[in-house]
A and B are shown apart, each in its own frame.
Chain A
């Protein structure tokens, strides 16, 4: 049931339809932005703890009491209260618009994430394709920030980001083709439904196509790291070379928009990985609760925990693998990942065809 339908049942009939559409969009937006903020606040804290423990430190320990849980909330309040600096030589309209576009596209992509059966803001048939397409718009916002800052390092960072993201979209798209072929659908919620079962054996990564699923997931995860500008591919903001890359000149709330976008994009990529490879909201034994009131909250919890685990793996990689050079990034993308992706698509299509025609699965 769509949110507009729900509202029209709830509210008196005198309210015009366009007001319902706007109201529904506003409510969906509020829920998504609240969710993304909470994910970002939690991820920042987690990132600091993970970084600390990997480097034999403790990370934040004081703010809030237990293991510094309120540290990123305090940081968020600090960022909101800070002075909003706009350079006199900056390209003002672009400088102001860039953070909105960057965060807006990341939020728009959340529309297609399936959290539980029926709990998806908009069940788009082309969910996978929609998320990849909308995320690619982030690059334009980053270029806008780099150009608008009127700063050499910002522009270099933006250029690197655009080149890197445009290149890694190819292996990312190719790696998504394997699960799409297996499920026969671009829809993320349909993919999650097809992985339902009493155990975990219906998840794509444990299915009869597991020998294609595992390399395709490695390909997807590598491309996703590059796509979200995470280490070892964090060249757009590599602090030892470019100060802070495209967001060097940003401060206060505008800077926090870029920060939120990074964590939102990480969560988004992890959500795609969860929905396609790791069974979405399915978990061994969860089917027993189907039909009860507990099922939907538990399914949402399973989905969020699974995707947060993938976010944790991204952080783990960041503090384990050193940053690579820009030419190595490009070489990895074009000379290794793209051919591997094309080869996997070929193998997967032959395998799915054999399965379909000979075994009738």
Chain B
């Protein structure tokens, strides 16, 4: 019962905030509403017993990515005309296509999973760590992804750094 209550709370929070961020006129308000969505999704992960994923969702998305989005919005002075309804309809079209693809792929899987006991979810950190770092498991994919991300980081630093002409300095 507590699980169902929490499910409805988090589901309402995430869907409501997603709709708010989609239809609000003020872009900065939309970005702040995204926080509710991200936290709500983290709560849903927690209900499914994925504690590590839920914490990572909050730390990375709400604490990191969302702040980057807010920085981008606050420093670039967004134009009010950018919120045209046509774009929203385009987004709804893409969402519909995505939903169709999703249903086609995983539609036959069981939808209603029994929520885990909230008081003591099984810790998943150990399994995730072992899966990521075992040679016969996901080690290669994990290291490959970290190399790609490192390359992206170096490239971003290279593009963003200030360039000096040799003549200017001298």
Interface residues of A (CB under 8 A from B): 2, 4, 16-18, 21, 91, 93-94, 122, 124-126, 129-130, 132-134, 136-137, 139-140, 143-144, 147, 155, 159, 162, 166, 169, 186
Chain B hits for A18, CB < 8 A: 1-2, 5
User: Are B55 and A133 in contact (CB-based, < 8 A)?
Assistant: yes
User: Are A126 and B125 in contact (CB-based, < 8 A)?
Assistant: yes
A sample of 9 cross-chain residue pairs with beta-carbon separation below 8 angstroms, ordered by A number, consists of: A16-B1, A125-B121, A126-B52, A126-B55, A126-B123, A133-B59, A137-B58, A143-B67, A147-B28
Measured between alpha carbons, how far is A94 from B59 in the docked complex, in Å? 22
Main secondary structure of the interface of A (DSSP, over half): helix
Sorted nearest first, the 5 A-B pairs with minimum C-beta distance are A136-B63, A133-B59, A17-B1, A125-B123, A133-B58
Contact of A4 among B2, B35, B56, B66 (CB under 8 A): B2
User: Are A147 and B59 in contact (CB-based, < 8 A)?
Assistant: no
Measured between alpha carbons, how far is A21 from B117 in the docked complex, in Å? 13
Contact of A21 among B5, B67, B70 (CB under 8 A): B5
User: Are B1 and A136 in contact (CB-based, < 8 A)?
Assistant: no
Chain A hits for B70, CB < 8 A: 140, 143, 147, 162
Given A125-B51, A125-B123, A129-B55; A137-B35 close (CB under 8 Å): yes
Q: How far is the CB of B153 from chain A (nearest CB, A)?
A: 12
Q: B94 near A: Cβ within 8 Å?
A: no
Q: How far is the CB of A106 from chain B (nearest CB, A)?
A: 14
Q: B32 near A: Cβ within 8 Å?
A: yes
User: Are B71 and A140 in contact (CB-based, < 8 A)?
Assistant: no
Q: How far is the CB of A54 from chain B (nearest CB, A)?
A: 34
Contact of B74 among A122, A124, A126, A159 (CB under 8 A): A159
Q: Count residues of chain B with CB under 8 A from any CB of chain A.
A: 27
Q: Which residue of B lies closest to A18 (CB)?
A: B5
Contact of A136 among B62, B119, B121 (CB under 8 A): B62
User: Are A159 and B123 in contact (CB-based, < 8 A)?
Assistant: no
Q: B25 near A: Cβ within 8 Å?
A: no
Chain B hits for A144, CB < 8 A: 32
User: Are A126 and B51 in contact (CB-based, < 8 A)?
Assistant: yes
Q: B29 near A: Cβ within 8 Å?
A: yes
Contact of B62 among A94, A125, A132, A140 (CB under 8 A): A140
Given A162-B67, A166-B67; A134-B58 close (CB under 8 Å): yes
Given A125-B121, A186-B125; A139-B63 close (CB under 8 Å): yes
Contact of B67 among A17, A126, A140, A186 (CB under 8 A): A140
User: Besides the contacts A125-B121, A147-B70, what 18 more A-B pairs have beta carbons closer than 8 Å?
Assistant: A18-B2, A91-B28, A94-B28, A94-B32, A125-B125, A126-B52, A130-B55, A133-B55, A133-B56, A133-B59, A134-B58, A139-B67, A140-B35, A140-B62, A159-B71, A159-B74, A162-B71, A169-B64
Chain A hits for B26, CB < 8 A: 91
Measured between alpha carbons, how far is A169 from B125 in the docked complex, in Å? 20
Q: How far is the CB of B71 from chain A (nearest CB, A)?
A: 7
Q: Which residue of B lies closest to A158 (CB)?
A: B74
Q: Which residue of A lies closest to B63 (CB)?
A: A136
Measured between alpha carbons, how far is A18 from B4 in the docked complex, in Å? 9
User: Are A133 and B125 in contact (CB-based, < 8 A)?
Assistant: no
As a 0/1 sequence over residues 18 to 32 of chain B, the CB contacts with chain A under 8 angstroms (1 = contact) are 000000001011001
Measured between alpha carbons, how far is A206 from B132 in the docked complex, in Å? 32
